[in-house]
């Protein structure tokens, strides 16, 4: 498993930088030594074997040291931000709660006492290390539970099991071109997210370097020498591009993956100059990793994705592949990855079937095998018999209006009829003529569209606009 590899690299390449946290490098020798101290801490307190350890730790480096130690002792880990998450994610069947002695987690001790849960506030000062050969390995190494982005409803739990994790990471490395010389920026993404977990882990699986940065301006992570890879979502990229010109130098060799949404052509042009010309449009999910990765070179690359890594099919409601050029539902092979959600058979049945995962996307396949997304089948809007796929319209309107976010939805009027609404993320209202021209071009056949301006639309951890929360806000304001 991953901890064994880190200990191995600590012997083979002891001085190689394993992790950089807020500009401070840690070699594989030091990284492994800290994990050994954490192993000693937990083993001396009998925290070995199976069970779920819930980590409430904000410092990313501390999280990784403690999580990897616990997993090497047989426990499965999950990262949360607060006590409220225990209720939100149904985390009652747990072996222990782990926090840092250097951090304050409001209400944590009281919750553990009230619910009879063991809590460990960890300090490794004065602790004796427990190396890889100092204790018999567990019968089964522990995994790590990720939380989905919540775009399909409530967040669901996905277990990254050591049984397939190595292959999962190998596939990611092959798609993104990661090797032992890579330096991968993970920014401050939380380890409960796919991007926050897979980015550093894909580095450590091959003895490369992961750059973690938190509590500072995001561009600071890009200043570390030799960065080869970074993954961003549109909101983060917009923040980087908003920084002053001299804030960071361009890095023509960097592989920049944009995920969890689309960016405008203007942003692509800026990114090529400010950051790197190697911009990739990545499509994937927590459940199945990356399944499309497209270098943005020609205008069509913004829309037509190149499939990568996994078998992808476009099927109809009977799960039969549709002809080329016909819109259908996306399904992605689950071979060598998760096949369901943790403690959620209902959601598993809804999204996993016959060896495939159904992410909820609609798409069309081109003759040459490239795929264009057409939105989510759960988001299809039906207004008086007219069906609308909002995602492509939102993307084009954002481009036309030069705004950071657009959300199309419907709300019933006082007579029970569906009316079309659009929420636009902009610091100031848009001129009437400009707005009318854009709407007329992109949304034909609808009159009386209700337009709302918002300085910020509700988004999830990866920056995606959460449509149901937009609707809830608009309903509350009526």
pLDDT digits (tens, 9 = 90+) for 365-394: 999 999 998 777 767 776 766 667 787 888
Q: Taking all residues of the chain, what is their mean pLDDT, rounded to a whole number?
A: 90
Q: Which of 329, 327, 282, 330 is nearest to 309 (CA)?
A: 282
Quote the CA–CA distance of 122 and 408 in Å, as a whole number: 47
For helices 194-204 and 162-176, give the axis angle rounded to 10 degrees.
80
- Asked if residue 122 lies in contact with residue 65, where contact means CB atoms within 8 angstroms, the answer is no
Quote the CA–CA distance of 137 and 51 in Å, as a whole number: 15
Place of tokens 């800026």: 270
Q: List, in sequence order, every beta strand (DSSP E) within 271-430.
A: 279-285, 289-295, 304-305, 312-315, 328-333, 352-353, 356-357, 361-365, 371-376, 381-383, 386-388, 405-412, 418-425
Superfamily of domain covering 311-379 = Luciferase; Domain 3 (2.30.38.10)
The pLDDT value given to residue 404: 86
Quote the CA–CA distance of 329 and 321 in Å, as a whole number: 9
Query: Is residue 13 exposed (0-12), middle (13-18) or buried (19+ Cβ within 10 Å)?
Result: middle
The pLDDT value given to residue 151: 54
Place of tokens 């809007």: 381
Q: Which of 88, 110, 108 is nearest to 99 (CA)?
A: 108
Quote the CA–CA distance of 65 and 195 in Å, as a whole number: 18
The pLDDT value given to residue 243: 92
Quote the CA–CA distance of 139 and 185 in Å, as a whole number: 34
The pLDDT value given to residue 417: 65
The pLDDT value given to residue 175: 93
Three-state secondary-structure class, residue 97: strand
In the chain, list all ranges with CATH 3.40.50.980.
2-160
Q: Which long-range contacts (CB under 8 A, 24 or more apart) does 299-303 make?
A: 299/265, 302/262, 302/265, 302/268, 303/372
In the chain, list all ranges with CATH 2.30.38.10.
311-379
What's the pTM? 0.83
Place of tokens 């209006």: 401
Q: Which of 202, 199, 79, 236 is nearest to 147 (CA)?
A: 79
CATH architecture of 383-477: 2-Layer Sandwich (3.30)
Quote the CA–CA distance of 109 and 121 in Å, as a whole number: 10
The pLDDT value given to residue 227: 97
In the chain, list all ranges with CATH 3.30.300.30.
383-477
The pLDDT value given to residue 84: 84
Q: Which of 417, 401, 418 is nearest to 409 (CA)?
A: 418
Q: Kindly report, residue by residue over 174-210, the tens digit of the pLDDT.
A: 999 999 999 999 999 999 999 999 999 999 999 999 9
- How many residues can be counted in the chain? 478
Helix (H) or strand (E) holding 114: helix 108-114
Which one of 3.40.50.980, 3.40.50.300, 3.10.20.600, 3.30.360.10 gives the CATH number of domain 2-160? 3.40.50.980
List, for the chain, all residue ranges whose pLDDT scores fall below the cut of 50: none
The contacts of residue 250 (CB under 8 Å, 6+ apart) are 273, 274, 275, 276
Three-state secondary-structure class, residue 441: helix
The contacts of residue 371 (CB under 8 Å, 6+ apart) are 292, 304, 305, 307, 312, 314, 330, 363, 364, 365
Three-state secondary-structure class, residue 313: strand
441 C-beta neighbours (distance < 10 Å), count: 11
């Amino acid at each position: 498993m991953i901890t064994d590899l880190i200990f191995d690299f600590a012997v083979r390449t002891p001085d190689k930088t394993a992790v950089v946290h807020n500009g401070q490098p840690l070699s594989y020798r030091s990284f492994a030594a800290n994990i050994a101290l954490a192993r000693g801490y937990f083993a001396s307190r009998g925290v070995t074997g199976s069970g779920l350890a819930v980590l409430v730790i904000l410092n990313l480096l501390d999280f990784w040291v403690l999580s990897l130690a616990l997993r090497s002792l047989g426990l499965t880990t999950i990262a949360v931000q607060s006590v409220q998450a225990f209720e939100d994610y149904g985390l009652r069947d747990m072996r222990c709660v782990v926090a840092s002695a250097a951090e304050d987690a409001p209400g944590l001790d009281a919750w553990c006492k009230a619910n009879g849960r063991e809590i460990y506030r960890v300090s490794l000062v004065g602790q004796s290390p427990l190396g890889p050969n100092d204790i018999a390995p567990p019968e089964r190494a522990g995994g790590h539970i990720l939380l989905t982005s919540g775009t399909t409803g409530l967040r669901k739990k996905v277990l990254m099991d050591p049984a397939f994790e190595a292959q999962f990471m190998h596939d990611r490395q092959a798609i993104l071109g990661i090797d032992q010389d890579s330096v991968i920026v993970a920014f401050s993404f939380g380890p409960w997210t796919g991007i926050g977990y897979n980015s550093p882990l894909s580095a450590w699986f091959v003895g490369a370097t992961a750059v973690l940065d938190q509590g500072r301006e995001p561009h600071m992570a890009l200043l570390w020498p030799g960065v080869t890879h970074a993954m961003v979502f549109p909101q983060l990229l917009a923040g980087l591009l908003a920084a002053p010109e001299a804030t960071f130098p361009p890095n023509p060799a960097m592989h920049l993956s944009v995920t969890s949404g689309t960016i405008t052509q203007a942003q692509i042009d800026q990114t090529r100059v400010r950051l790197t010309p190697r911009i990739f449009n990545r499509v994937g999910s927590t459940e199945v990793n990356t399944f499309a990765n497209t270098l943005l070179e020609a205008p069509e690359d913004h829309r037509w994705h190149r499939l990568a890594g996994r078998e992808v099919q476009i099927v109809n409601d009977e799960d039969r592949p549709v002809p080329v050029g016909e819109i259908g539902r996306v399904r992605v092979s689950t071979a060598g990855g998760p096949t369901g959600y943790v403690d959620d058979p209902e959601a598993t049945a809804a999204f996993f079937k016959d060896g495939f995962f159904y992410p909820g996307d609609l798409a069309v396949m081109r003759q040459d095998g490239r795929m264009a997304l057409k939105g989510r089948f759960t988001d299809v809007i039906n207004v008086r018999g007219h069906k609308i796929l909002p995602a492509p319209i939102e993307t084009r309107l954002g481009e036309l209006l030069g705004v950071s976010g657009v959300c199309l939805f419907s709300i019933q009027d006082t007579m029970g009829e569906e009316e079309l609404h659009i929420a636009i993320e902009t610091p100031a209202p848009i001129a009437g003529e400009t707005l009318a021209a854009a709407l007329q071009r992109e949304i034909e056949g609808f009159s009386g569209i209700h337009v709302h301006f918002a300085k910020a639309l509700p988004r999830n951890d990866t920056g995606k606009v959460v449509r149901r929360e937009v609707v809830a806000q608009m309903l509350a304001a009526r």
